[in-house]
Amino acid sequence: MTLSTGKNGRYRYYACSIRARQGDTGCTGRAIPMDKLDRMVVTHIEQRLLDPERIEDVLASRLDCRQEGVERRSQHIAELNHRAAEADNRLKRLYDPVEAGSLDPAESSLASALRALRR
């Protein structure tokens, strides 16, 4: 369908594009007033897309996806907190011998382990 006009553009229609190019011999379809077809299309879309049950289903699906995301983030945060606590415990275990004087913090392998745990 393509836009077609009549009476110097005062009337607007949708017509078969073949008919618009070739005339009545190219296509036997008829032209439809633009405002009438536009209303029909909009009404159909409103009835299909804006149906309350459909909207409810779409929103319920979005809420489910959102809740799953919240749960995944909560699990990730818990895992990160666990890893941070574990790193703190490991640091404490390293600090105790250093404080007691039995380990030299300047030792290269101990210094690199301390830096890694601090990160």
- Residue-wise pLDDT for 49-58, tens only, equals 888 899 999 9
Amino acid at 60: A
Range of the domain at 29: 2-80
Q: Residues 37-66: what's their mean pLDDT?
A: 92
User: What's the confidence (pLDDT) of residue 21?
Assistant: 75
Burial letters for 15-27: b for 16+ Cβ neighbours within 10 Å, e otherwise?
Answer: bbeebbeeeeeee
Residue 7 within a domain: yes
Whether residue 20 is predicted with pLDDT greater than 70 in this model: the reply is no
Residue 101 within a domain: no
Residue 65 within a domain: yes
User: What's the confidence (pLDDT) of residue 108?
Assistant: 65
Q: Report which of residues 11 and 19 the model is more confident about.
A: 11
User: What's the confidence (pLDDT) of residue 41?
Assistant: 92
Strands 32-33 and 11-15: antiparallel
Whether residue 44 is predicted with pLDDT greater than 80 in this model: the reply is yes
* Alpha-carbon gap, residue 44 to 95, rounded angstroms: 73
Residue 93 within a domain: no
Bridge partners of 14? 3, 32
Residue-averaged pLDDT of the chain = 85
* Alpha-carbon gap, residue 52 to 65, rounded angstroms: 20
Residue 54 within a domain: yes
For the chain, how many structural domains are there in total?
1
User: What's the confidence (pLDDT) of residue 61?
Assistant: 94
For 78-105, the pLDDT digits (tens) are 999 999 999 888 888 877 877 777 766 6
